[in-house]
Amino acid sequence: MRMPHNSPPRAAGRDRALHKAFRSACQRYLAERRDHRFADRGMWLKLALLALGAAACYLLCLTQSGLAGYALCYFGFIFFAMMLVVNVLHDASHNAFCRSGAANAWLGRVISLPLGLDADSWQVRHVKFHHPYTNIQGYDPDIDENGVLCQTPFQRWKPVMRYQHLYWPLVAALTFPWYAWWMDWRDRLGNTPFTRHLPHQGAGGAGLFLLLKGAHFLLALGVPALFMAGKLSFITVLAVYLASQMLVSALFVSLLIGTHWAKGHFYPTPGKGAMPPSPYHHAFATTFDWGARPRLLGYWLGGLNLHLTHHLFPDWSHRHFTALSEIIGEVAGAHGLAYRVLSVRDLLRLQRRHLTRMGAKPTEDRRQ
């Protein structure tokens, strides 16, 4: 990712009327409920249930005598771990779970252990860059050029990308392992533009990073290999680990990244000019909400289906997203902004259309 050293300035011309309308509506909503924007007891109960599910599956996998039982229980462990990432770490990274920033940071580090992701690195990439610079070439790490997918009109094209709408689920499946075992290390070793933004620098930061990576290795591979010795080979344990990581990665990424591909609005790396003039209009131009059916599915997805809502209110607990979505519909209509909630079918169709379009051989008008 060839990001300039300094982040570009956001344009000064923010839409103050729209901001004031959102702020007033949200303040009224909280006042009427006598509520706050952080996690409540229900969210802590959800955390406890998911943690218990992960712990139960982990302990069960250690007692298995055959591959089928071990693989099923181990996948359950990783699946519950992913649900904790979606429902808790994501909010915590935006300081929307606990009131304390330090508590959010440590909660995120602990929850990320089973998947091996560095919570500090992910927070920098996600909160400090993806959110303010969504779909902007050179600044949004989620659309970083990787040589495998052509995600924007401003990236290099290869003939194999004609088939990217077919093979992209494999890329999605490799995302978590890629970040855990490659990008996290590059960030910490100073090989990316994100290194200087990490919260802990120097020997202390390196020590914490190595401690957490070591804890992940012991939890996810070392202890299972020890308990399954004589029953399953280490290669088999490693294969189950990788397969489980890839399955949850494919599920998470496929449900998330399409919300930014669906509208097909991307922006070139800015030169001296400022970013798009209004963060609100930029969010509407690059992000969709999609409706989860049944509605309970949205609850267990941590509100990630209401992704535009999340981008407009990133520091709110996802327990508010349904109500905030209704507020967005009212305010957007009053200010001439189109707000549409996609179906899952529409989301997948638009996602496939975007990948097919970007995978076609470039023409002069593809950037239009």
At 11-22, the pLDDT tens digits run 444 578 899 999
Tokens of 99: 């009131």
Is 5 a domain residue?
no
Closest-CA residue to 326 (of 312, 344, 343, 347): 312
> What integer pLDDT is reported at residue 5 of this predicted model?
38
Strand partners for 136: 267
Note whether residue 10 is domain-resident.
Answer: no
What is the 8-class DSSP label of residue 85?
I
- Measuring CA to CA, which residue among 109, 114, 106 is closest to residue 58? 114
φ, ψ dihedrals at 131, nearest 5°: -65, -50
In a domain, 89, yes or no: yes
Q: Which domain holds residue 335?
A: 24-359
The reply to whether 15 falls in a domain is no
**CA 36 vs CA 28, 127, 209: distances in Å:** 11, 21, 33
Look at the chain and report how many structural domains it folds into: 1
- The predicted pLDDT at position 94 comes to 97
Residue 229 domain flag = yes
Name which of 168, 144, 167, 164 is nearest 154 in CA terms.
Answer: 144
Kindly list the distances between the CA atom of residue 320 and the CA atoms of 7, 26, 92, 193, 266, in Å, as whole numbers in the listed order: 31, 10, 15, 34, 29
Does residue 126 form part of some domain? yes
10-residue stretch averages of pLDDT, the chain, 368 residues long: 46 71 96 97 98 98 97 98 97 97 97 97 95 92 93 94 95 95 93 90 94 98 97 97 97 84 86 69 92 89 94 96 97 92 90 94 63
Instruction: Name the residue type at position 258.
Output: G
In a domain, 33, yes or no: yes
What the block records as the tokens of 80 is 């519950």
